[in-house]
Structure 1
Amino acid sequence: MADVKLDGATRSFDFSLPLVIIGAGACGLVAGLAAKSMGIDAVVLERDAIPRGSTFMSSGFVPAAGTRFQKDAGVDDSADIMAADILRKTHHEADPEIVAQLAKASGEIVEWLADEHGIPFELVEGFLYPGHSRMRMHCTPRRTGEELMACLLNAAEKAGLDVLTEAQVITLHTDEEKRVHGLSYRRPDGAIEQLGCQTLVLACNGYGGNPDLIARHIPQMKDALYFGHKGNQGEAVLWGEAMNASLKDMGAYQGHGSLAWPHQTLISWAVMMQGGIQINREGRRFSNEHGGYSEQAAVVLKQPEGIAFNIFDARIHEQVLQFEDYHYAFNTGAVRVFDSAEALAEGLDLPLEDTRATFDEMERLQAEAGTDRFGRRFDPKLRLAAPYYVIRVTGALFHTQGGLEISTDGRVLDTEGHPLPNLYAGGGAARGVSGASDSGYMSGNGLLSAVVMGAIAGRSAAMAVNDAETTSV
């Protein structure tokens, strides 16, 4: 239930705070930390008993440009280079001002989280994700969203940021001018409590868990496996529609073409970028595996039975063991090993002749640094060698990328481009920087919008509170 009532100006609230944030994922926690650093009393409301959200299910990679972590590794990067990479990947469909703002602020915010809040960021080295021209992924040591969330929750506790769990927001109370005066939330026992606010930040992610909204905005994925947080029901979109807010890029989403099946464990796309390939049940390659893992979800789902096989070797296996998700997949039997292409075809029940032809073509391309019919160039330095490691995978919908249109300071805009009085958004609740479909998604876009725009929106909302208090004096 996501409702908006025009009774905010006359309603009495149980208690009030200067800033309320809905959603305790990365976006909401970072927004709260940013506001607290400016001396603003804030609370984060979370529907679940334990804050997790989409961040928990991600790899926890935050792209940022010009950081000291990059400089220490000899990586020459800048906000301009990062912004150009994002716009190129989206075919210039993303809002260039938002892209520029996120790229410009990314380095400072990652370093702020590391220095002020003890988030143990390090740079992911050794390979580039599709679309990125520089190594700019920053992660915590275990390279999981679970660890990133734990670090952010620890930071919130140390900063004295209140996080109220099992508080599902059901109604926003506004006035005729679209100013939010407060909200109502439901407690586990069914009791409804009201909370007033001066400013509100929507950090409640997207609508991947709402089949009706997926069918309306992303019909091609309505039957796809949803590998995201079930709480992503699209409340921000529904509240925004009721308040005449502008929605943008609603067909954009992040898919992933490498979800171990039936284990349902995310397999890093580093497997492909380091030389791996995907084949289908016919023993054939069917795409350029370097084109991007988001658009690969739909491509994999079009294969027989919606299944593909990731094929790589011991060199890649050793490299991706540093990813905890892969380590888990290996330990639970998702990875099989074959001594030859023939043994692989027999073990996976694939057509021997077609499988052998696929390997012959791959070996030829690798030997001569050739480019295949899909446009992928094979680097001889990344040549695969037996024994071959194999993971059975499928494609899945991870999270949506469209949402509320916002300004560069995180304010929600109405359909005429005017900012709503005191409503801010970030992360999956807001329009992302992935263009209008699946092909514009670039690794880290989701956490870029969550972490960096979360900080920007939190700071902007805090400034609005300070300005209002100064004016009232």
Structure 2
Amino acid sequence: MKRFLTILLAIFMTISLVACGNANKSQTAIANGTYKGEGNGKGGKISVEVTIKDDTITDVKVLEQKETPGYETAMDTLKENILSKNSLEVDIVAGCTLTSKGYLEAITAALKAAGATPDMLKKNQGKDADVTKKEVSKTHDIVIIGAGGAGLSAAIEAKQAGADVIVLEKMPMAGGNTLISGAEYAAPNNWIQKKEGIKDSPDQFAKDTIKGGDNENDPELVKVVAENALAGAEWLRDEVGVVWQDDLMFFGGHSVKRSLIPAGANGKEIIRKQVAKAESLNIPILYNTTAMSLITDSNGKVIGVEAEGEDTKYTFNTNKAVIIASGGFGSNIEMRVKYNPAMDKKVLSTNTVGSTGDGIVMGEKIGAELVGMEHIQTYPVCDPLTGTLLYFGDARMYGHTIMVNKEGRRFVEELERRDVISMAIKEQTDSVCYQLLDQKGLEASKLEEQHGAEMEYLYKNKLLVKANTIEEAAAFFDIDAKEFKATLDRYNGYVKDGKDKEFNKRSMPSTIDTAPFYILKAAPAVHHTMGGLKINTKAEVINKDGKVIEGLYAAGEVTGGVHGTNRLGSNALADITVFGRIAGQNAAK
């Protein structure tokens, strides 16, 4: 009997242990552990390592990423929200759509490696969205709205002039449109021109700019940019640490090749060095902080800024001035249509989502005069799917490409003004163009070296083809191959003769005849808004009565008057640097 009871007890304990084990197993849908996954962001592969415990993501480590400097902060924001909610059902970070999607894709892949799906995570509510924001009041000499190229130039100059400066940036990273641009810089009489024997002058630059703006520019503002552009480029090089490449680009509308190229051929070099300089000067930059309104006294002088952060309402009082450098309104469809009905939602934009005209609206509310608001420029070579500016299109400025339509024919000079090329493209079949270059053009343009991640994206989305013959490349996009080949033969003949008999192309450095061949499919998108706050040559904002608004300065795309009806390529960097520096220097006085 005793032996029987012992056996019975053993059986009972075994059953209990099995039951307990099954119960423990049922409590955890995902096996605890660390799992790896990959996704595709704007800069290519994003690799992460996800730690899971008790159906909860406890950590996410980024093992590899090549996102634009500043954009990686989107992954920090997403991580915080994912850990808070223990869910992948989080909002993408504004302005960082591709980075956000790639990061979430990588985490989803890590869950798949764990044999799980996102809906198997244990849900919780995360942060309380209704928490009352705390109110903070601060005083600085100067408050700068916007941490793009103009705002950072102003901040550095003002700080070095002895002012106490703070910068407000509504996005989670610095840079604005400067960061995602090619950031080429038009500078007459620059050191590379002298080396290459190119004759140029500020006067010639000013004439090109005014002609390019259809004579609707403010000539005094243009003169200031022309006479100070070279000094601005040298300041970026010598004071800020920007590295310029040892070659130039020839942009449409310019009479000579004068545009400097930053290392890497994009705005990362400019913004990264400006942010580093600002940090070395202990200039605070408040990210995710949106300026809401300007504060004025009884006499109309600007004495501060009301702003909002994620959990804080700020009142920033100023001892000296406010500088608005918040950019244009290219991503504000309602505002675009208000001033130019043709620029509706059907037209995509190259701009960051932060380009919504906030500074223009704030300035107008206190009486600032607006100029040229109807002048909205499109960029000709953009992603037909997203509107993103394509660096691959820069090959055009080296002169190594031709642009054709679906019928295989050229239809515009490839080095014409941006607006002229854009409107010409819109008249073609499907409102797209096809840009051809060969292997030696690819190498001369340094596209694979500098923009390899973008090329991978273009291949993946069937917007770029590489082929051993013209016929094969044309077939990929269903271009009339016979006509295309005839067009190319004529063009190569023009190169050999030194004269483009069809469109008088101003730069034809080489024939297009070395396989493999590359064809890019592209379309125009809104790129720059020429209108904005009226300023004088001191960067002071002018009101509707033609008088200076005391305590208020502005620089960059938020202003109007410099570019007239149309901005020539590479003039923006000269504009934002010159007037950013002027605004900072004068505000600090």
TM-score (norm 2): 0.71
Residue of structure 2 equivalent to 1:337: 466
- Assess, with a 3 A threshold, how the Cα gap between structure 1 residues 341 and 111 changes in structure 2: closer, same or farther: closer
Q: How does 1:360-439 map to 2 (within 5 A)?
A: 360-373=489-502, 375-377=503-505, 381-387=509-515, 388-436=517-565
Judge conservation of contact 2:251–2:397 (CA < 8 Å) in 1: no
Distance 1:317 1:36 in 2: 42
* Partner Cα separation in structure 2 for residue 349 and residue 224 of structure 1: 24
Residue 256 (structure 1) shift: 1.4
Distance in 2 between the 1:366 and 1:322 partners?
22
- Cross-structure match for 2:313: 192
TM-superposition CA deviations, 1:344-386 (whole Å, max 9, x none): 332321234433443344344444444444x334767522214
Amino acid at match of 1:454: G
* Aligned-partner Cα distance in 2 for 1:201–1:249: 20
Aligned to 1:64: 187
Counterpart of 1:228 in structure 2 is 351
* Residue 442 (str. 1) matches residue 531 (str. 2): no
Q: Deviation at 1:57?
A: 0.8
Is the 8 Å Cα contact of residues 405 and 412 (structure 1) preserved in structure 2? Answer: yes
Q: Which residue of 1 aligns with 2:331?
A: 209
Structure-2 residue corresponding to 1:281: 406
| Structure with bigger RCO (C-alpha 8 Å, 6+ apart) | 1
Moved more, 274-283 or 14-23: 274-283
- Residue 167 of structure 1 deviates from its aligned partner by 1.1
Partner of 1:466: none
Partner Cα distance (2:471, 2:455) in 1: 22
Change (3 A) 1:292 1:421: same
Question: TM-score, normalising length from structure 1?
Answer: 0.87
Deviations 1:156-184 (A, max 9, x none): 11122221112111121223532112111
Q: CA deviation at 1:448?
A: 1.8
Find the partner of 1:296 among 421, 426, 429: 421
Which residue in the other structure is 1:350 paired with?
479
Cα offsets for 1:38-80 (capped at 9, x unmatched) = 1111111111222131011101222223344544555443322
Distance 1:427 1:110 in 2: 15
361-370 vs 239-248, greater mean Cα deviation: 361-370
**What do the CA deviations read for 1:15-56 (whole angstroms, capped 9, x no partner)?**
211111000001000001011111111111111222131011
- Give, in angstroms, the shift of residue 272 of structure 1: 5.4
Structure-2 change in CA distance of 1:208 and 1:284 (3 Å): same
Partner of 1:268, secondary structure, is helix
Structure 2 contact 192–247 (Cα < 8 Å) conserved? no
- Pairwise mapping of residues 128-277 of structure 1 onto structure 2 (< 5 A)? 128-189=250-311, 191-197=312-318, 198-222=320-344, 223-262=346-385, 264=388, 265-271=390-396, 273-277=398-402
Structure 2 gap segments, 5+ residues each:
1-134
Match of residue 7 from structure 2: none
Q: 1:350 to 1:66 in 2, by over 3 A?
A: closer
**Could you say if the C-alpha distance between residues 227 and 346 of structure 1 is closer, same or farther in structure 2, counting changes exceeding 3 Å?**
same
Residues 33, 272 of structure 1: CA spacing in aligned structure 2 closer, same or farther, 3 A cutoff? closer
- Among residues 210, 214, 217, which one is paired with 1:94 in the alignment? 217
Q: Distance in 2 between matches of 1:242 and 1:271?
A: 42
Distance in 2 between the 1:406 and 1:157 partners?
29
Q: Percentage identity across aligned positions?
A: 26
User: Partner of 2:562: helix, strand, or coil?
Assistant: coil
Aligned letter for 2:244? F
Query: Gapped runs of 5+ residues in structure 1?
Result: 1-11, 464-473
Whether contact under 8 Å (1:432, 1:449) holds in the other structure is: no
Cα distance in 1 between the residues matched to 2:448 and 2:142: 37
Alignment correspondent of 1:468:
none
1:16 matched to which residue of 2? 139
Assess if the C-alpha contact under 8 Å between 1:365 and 1:378 holds in 2.
no
**CA deviations over 1:297-356 (Å, ceiling 9, x no partner):** 333233222221101112211111257664333344254233333333323212344334
Deviates more, 1:421-430 or 1:252-261: 252-261
Judge conservation of contact 1:21–1:203 (CA < 8 Å) in 2.
yes
Structure 1 residues 177 and 301: CA distance shift in structure 2, 3 A: farther
Cα contact 2:331–2:356 (8 A) shared by 1: yes
Given the superposition, is the C-alpha separation of residues 391 and 159 from structure 1 closer, same or farther in structure 2, using an over 3 Å criterion? same
Q: Quote the offset at 1:119 in angstroms.
A: 2.3
Q: Secondary structure at the match of 2:265?
A: coil
In 1, Cα distance between equivalents of 2:562 and 2:247? 22
Distance verdict in 2 for CA 1:372–1:329, change over 3 Å = farther
> Is 64-73 or 440-449 further displaced after alignment?
64-73
* Alpha carbons of structure 1 residues 335 and 351: separation in structure 2 relative to 1, 3 Å: closer
Would the aligned equivalents of 1:339 and 1:386 in 2 still touch at CA under 8 Å? no
